[in-house]
Amino acid sequence: MIDAGQTAKTEIGGLKEDMIMKITQATDYAARALIHLARLPGGTMVEAGEIAECQSIPESFLLKIFRSLAAAGIVGSQRGPGGGFFLRRDPSAVSILDILEAVEGRTGINHCLVDADRCGRHAAGYCSLRRTLASVQNVLTTELARYTVGDLASREPEPGDA
């Protein structure tokens, strides 16, 4: 079994391949930025540069991430003096799954769970491995949907307390 931080080496056709289950850097940054916003009074507008500096995120990358979050209706923005980014939804209504899907799109732990037509055996209807992976995917999706930005923000230590 591979856990979220463990790397395993496998041999496939004589080639070694690193396998690691992970959330991309973009999703990690998105979650950190949203937790930052959630810790502020509701409706507070914050410039991307301030969030980028506080969370050690490259500002240009954060702006790209915010475009995805805005398209998903998670954040809003206002241009001009006094402008910036703000949470459009209550932090308790934004799950980790919402963030993952806003940034990464629809995901699965195996390509056949996202698109059954990608099965090289054309066995999606009866494949025991696919059924097992679908069960694991359901547990993962349920857990990611269970935790919200509000939950994480409430458990985040105050600056300087860490």
Whether residue 66 lies inside any domain: the answer is yes
Between CA 131 and CA 82 the distance in angstroms is 52
Q: What is the mean pLDDT of each run of 10 residues along the chain (162 residues)?
A: 41 36 84 97 94 97 97 95 93 96 84 77 82 89 95 84 58
Q: What is the pLDDT of residue 45?
A: 95
Tell me the one-letter amino acid at 84: G
Q: What is the pLDDT of residue 144?
A: 93
Between CA 55 and CA 39 the distance in angstroms is 13
Q: What is the pLDDT of residue 6?
A: 41
* CATH at residue 76: 1.10.10.10
Total count of domains within the chain:
1
Beta-carbon contacts of residue 57 (< 8 Å; ≥ 6 apart): 29, 32, 33, 51
Q: What is the pLDDT of residue 22?
A: 56
Domain of 51, in residue numbers: 23-108+148-155
Q: What is the pLDDT of residue 20?
A: 32
Long-range CB pairs of 133-141, under 8 A, 24+ apart, other chains included: 133/109, 136/109, 137/108, 137/109, 137/110, 137/113, 140/109, 141/97
Whether residue 119 lies inside any domain: the answer is no
Between CA 1 and CA 5 the distance in angstroms is 11
SS3 78: strand
Smallest CA-to-CA distance from 57 within 46, 70, 47, 48 is with 48
Q: What is the pLDDT of residue 95?
A: 97
Whether residue 124 lies inside any domain: the answer is no
